[in-house]
Structure 1
Amino acid sequence: MNFFAHLVLAEPTVESRVGNLLGDFARGVDQDSLSAEVLQGLINHRRIDQFTDQHPEVRQMKRLFSERRRRFAGIALDVLFDHYLLNHWHQFGVHSRVQVVEGLYDDLIAGQPLMPQRMQQVTRRIVESDWFGSYESLEGVSYALDRIAARIRVNNEFDGVGEELALHYPRFEAGFRLFFSDLAEQFPSSLIDSGN
């Protein structure tokens, strides 16, 4: 799962939300220095990622990617899942999407002192550039993934993966609905109606 989903599945506190994003920035972080709530958020992040990677629907979706892009299929699906969650928020969310996104952005700003430097930089960009707003369109998702492809340190052919997302868009959407219902049941959140 990507940033929006991890924040949504956190406890509704700044510390938990910081911890739930920290999984993507934890390299070099001394876990013993984290507060109990931030550490619990980090653990939750890792459990969500493990659940996602092992889910049969997600595994099937990864097989739809071309061989040259399959290595990074998980990254593409993570960002695409944020796209679907934002676009189907009326099905899953218990509060308005605008209210939730604004609240998450507020918590990212409030949590800056709890974050490593790199995480501070990225989360400021998330808020200032309204990443979650850009994830609402497939073009925004494709742009984000092309930027990720440019930062991957090994040679890859991940650039342009948006064309594969478009090709299998209805299948990925159906798979997301099945998968996210299971995820929401496994990881209850005050922002998600797990009865869907």
Structure 2
Amino acid sequence: MNYFAHLHIAYETNTSWAGNLLGDFPVVVSELPADLHSGWQLHQKVDVMVDEHDASVAFRSMSRAGRRRFSGIVQDIVMDYWLIQNWSRFSPLPLDIFCQTAVQGLLSDVNRCPARLQKMIYSLQQHNWLAELGTRQGVENALHSIMRRWRHGAHLQPFLDELPTVIQQGEAVFLALYPDLLSFVDQEVKKAEVVGHLG
């Protein structure tokens, strides 16, 4: 799952908006405040669950030009696309209201975030591009962003070259995976309430 899904999970579980994004940014975990640490830890659990889910295994095995070892990166972005496309199935909150709420939640913690996440939050404050992740152009922009900052980014070009097919391949994967993921995070939060922390 990418940014949008992790923010939706933060909302659904009433955990830190920023904390649920920190798993994609460099942090000193031992120095995180408790609320950010809980969000960070939930992010890690989500990533493991998604990677191991049968639908993800199937997505990585689908026929395409891009190398299988990099398909998980593309899947995360495509899952955001399909979550936004199916938003009304997973939230009664209008999409624009959710996006505004998410940005305000992130801004409340911006001073406790690492510099790169701060930069992203301020970008959202100015342009609020979250809903654009549910468009083909938004998927392209997200992939280009990774390609610019990642030394192996060139390996994502084949996925871009056949992006309509890759996006379509993700629909059934998302619909099989996301309900299971929401059930999983609900159970994780309930366990955390019993023991007093996400452990």
- Please classify the TM superposition score into its range, dividing by the shorter chain length: 0.7 to 0.9
The residue number in structure 2 matching 1:118 is 116
The residue number in structure 2 matching 1:194 is none
TM-score normalised to structure 1 length: 0.85
Q: Secondary structure at the match of 2:157?
A: coil
The residue number in structure 1 matching 2:5 is 5
Q: Secondary structure at the match of 1:153?
A: coil
* Superposition deviation, residue 77 in structure 1: 0.9
Q: Secondary structure at the match of 2:93?
A: coil
Q: Secondary structure at the match of 2:21?
A: helix
Letter in 1 for 2:6: H
* Superposition deviation, residue 68 in structure 1: 4.0
* Superposition deviation, residue 40 in structure 1: 0.8
8 Å CA contact 1:15, 1:37 repeated in 2? yes
Q: Structure 1, residues 105-143: CA drift from partner, whole Å, max 9, x if none? A: 111111111101121112222332322122121122022
Q: Structure 1, residues 26-83: CA drift from partner, whole Å, max 9, x if none? A: x3x3323222111111100000000000001011111225354322211111111111
* Superposition deviation, residue 87 in structure 1: 1.3
For the aligned residue pairs, the C-alpha RMSD in angstroms reads 2.3
The residue number in structure 1 matching 2:129 is 131
Letter in 1 for 2:110: Q
The residue number in structure 2 matching 1:180 is 178
Residue of 28, 42, 46 corresponding to 1:44: 42
Distance 1:83 1:91 in 2: 14
Q: Which deviates the most, 30-39 or 16-25? A: 30-39
Q: Pick closer, same or farther for the CA change 1:166–1:188 going to 2, 3 Å.
A: same
Q: Pick closer, same or farther for the CA change 1:170–1:12 going to 2, 3 Å.
A: closer
Q: Pick closer, same or farther for the CA change 1:179–1:15 going to 2, 3 Å.
A: closer
Q: Secondary structure at the match of 2:162?
A: helix
8 Å CA contact 1:65, 1:73 repeated in 2? no
* Superposition deviation, residue 160 in structure 1: 5.1
Distance 1:6 1:89 in 2: 14
Distance 2:153 2:97 in 1: 40
TM-score normalised to structure 2 length: 0.84
Residue of 99, 102, 106 corresponding to 1:101: 99
The residue number in structure 1 matching 2:193 is none
Q: Pick closer, same or farther for the CA change 1:168–1:118 going to 2, 3 Å.
A: closer
Q: Structure 1, residues 131-165: CA drift from partner, whole Å, max 9, x if none? A: 21221211220222023123221373312523433
Number of equivalenced pairs: 187
Letter in 2 for 1:90: S
Distance 2:35 2:161 in 1: 40
Q: Pick closer, same or farther for the CA change 1:156–1:168 going to 2, 3 Å.
A: closer
